[in-house]
Amino acid sequence: MHSIAVFSTQPYDSESLTHWGAGQFNWQFVSQKLDTVTASQAAGSNAVCVFVNDDLSKPVLDALAALGIKTIVLRCAGYNNVDVAYAKQLGFQLARVPAYSPEAVAEHCIAMILCLSRKLHKAYNRVRDDNFSLNGLLGFNLHGKTVGIIGTGRIGITTAKILSGFGCNVLCVDPQPQPQLPSDSCRYVELAELYQQADIVSLHCPLTPETFHMINQQSLAQMKTGVMLINTSRGGLIDTKAVIEGLKSKRISYLGLDVYEQEADLFFKDLSDHVIADEVFQRLLTFPNVLITGHQAFFTAEALAQIGQITCQNLHALLNNQACANCL
Ligand code: NAI
């Protein structure tokens, strides 16, 4: 039976992979993230299974290659954490889970928009404190608002369709436009027009060298005063320090983040008994109009089931030299 080292394992990962790969694989669950130090824990395995914050840069790939490992499966869609070109040069076979429930992420994005627009994060605490005053909770209707969607792939298009149902006017930017976009409420525009017109800007493009820090001082300066910014894609799309300045100057009135550039040191862990040294992250938490979730958008029962199932299918195909549609 093939042995698989699973890095960054959480209890829900081991449960799901054990279920979907029952009788097929010998799982070695490792709770730490993969890096140059932990790579040795893959010794004796036939493949490694990794997640969003595992490090698959050149030195880590060298370490895995030295252990004789040739197969890497990602139990996620994004692969900005993998040096794909170098992995291929070393002869690795790589596969990912390209499409697990885009609805999970799109619905989380909508949840963040509604939570911020109706100040539910504040209302929840108030009512628990027997404070039923509405002062300071004034919201705004989504109906009639202009929403900018950057990246209309699987998640962006699903988000655009949901927002159309709310009666929003949706402006989209994507170098590869999609024909399935609802034409009555959504249209493609140039990025500059999106920034100028949108009341809400939501990011759904991958993190690449071109999109790194696309939300920065210059792009924020083009946006409407009072804009809502939502990022459920990857933290590196945003220059967080510029966004903090945008919050202080009130250019940004609402910020919803499910991802954060330095999240690898924070997210997916219980740090409630620790002192968090990341001062940029701590500053973000001081704003009353900032909502942060810890890379949770994918986390639905439906998405987890698809991730487990497709990861096991990818492993089965790659380790048995069969065709795999999800190869990178
Ligand atoms: P996808 O590959 O289906 O779509 C990405 C779209 O972005 C494509 O249409 C592409 O043409 C477009 N794009 C590329 N560069 C662009 C640019 N410079 N400007 C505008 N558009 C650009 O990907 P999918 O499945 O929709 O996922 C989007 C992102 O969401 C992923 O890259 C991943 O980083 C993130 N994600 C986050 C999750 C979470 O739990 N928070 C879970 C799953 C994905």
pLDDT tens, position by position, 19-60: 999 999 999 999 999 999 999 999 999 999 999 999 999 999
d(CA 60, CA 199): 42
In the numeric block, which tokens belong to residue 133? 């005053």
| Sequence-ordered strand ranges (E) for 99-232 | 146-150, 169-173, 186-188, 200-203, 227-231
Residue 234 is among the residues annotated as catalytic for this protein: yes
- 75, 96, 204, 263: which is the annotated catalytic residue? 263
| Integer CA distances (angstroms), 178 to 55, 117, 138, 175, 205, in order | 32, 28, 36, 10, 13
Q: Residue 326 — pLDDT band, cuts 50, 70, 90?
A: very high
Q: Which protein residue's CA is at the shortest distance from atom 9 of ligand 1?
A: 153
CATH topology (fold) of 102-292: Rossmann fold (3.40.50)
Q: Residue 182 — pLDDT band, cuts 50, 70, 90?
A: confident
Residue of 49, 94, 58, 77 lying closest to 328 (CA atoms): 94
Task: Tell me if 206 sits within 8 A of 234, measured CB to CB.
Answer: yes
Q: If you average pLDDT over residues 139-154, what whole number do you get?
A: 98
| Interval 105-124: pLDDT, tens | 999 999 999 999 999 999 99
So what's the architecture of 2-100+301-319 in CATH? 3-Layer(aba) Sandwich (3.40)
pLDDT-above-90 percentage for the chain:
96
Decide whether any atom of ligand 1 lies within 6 Å of the 304 Cβ.
no
Decide whether any atom of ligand 1 lies within 6 Å of the 176 Cβ.
yes
Instruction: Provide the pLDDT for residue 170.
Output: 98
Instruction: Provide the pLDDT for residue 99.
Output: 86
Q: If you average pLDDT over residues 272-292, what whole number do you get?
A: 97
Rounded to whole angstroms, the maximal C-alpha distance in the chain is 64
d(CA 183, CA 22): 45
Q: Distance from the CA of 2 to the center of ligand 1, in angstroms?
A: 32
Q: Distance from the CA of 125 to the center of ligand 1, in angstroms?
A: 33
Same fold, 2-100+301-319 and 102-292: yes
The domain segmentation of the chain, as residue ranges, is 2-100+301-319, 102-292
Residues contacting residue 29 through CB under 8 Å, at least 6 positions apart: 6, 9, 13, 14
Instruction: Provide the pLDDT for residue 133.
Output: 98
The number of beta carbons lying within 10 Å of the beta carbon of residue 148 is: 25
pLDDT above 90: residue 82: yes
Burial of 251 per CB tally in 10 Å (0-12, 13-18, 19+): buried
Q: If you average pLDDT over residues 54-67, what whole number do you get?
A: 97
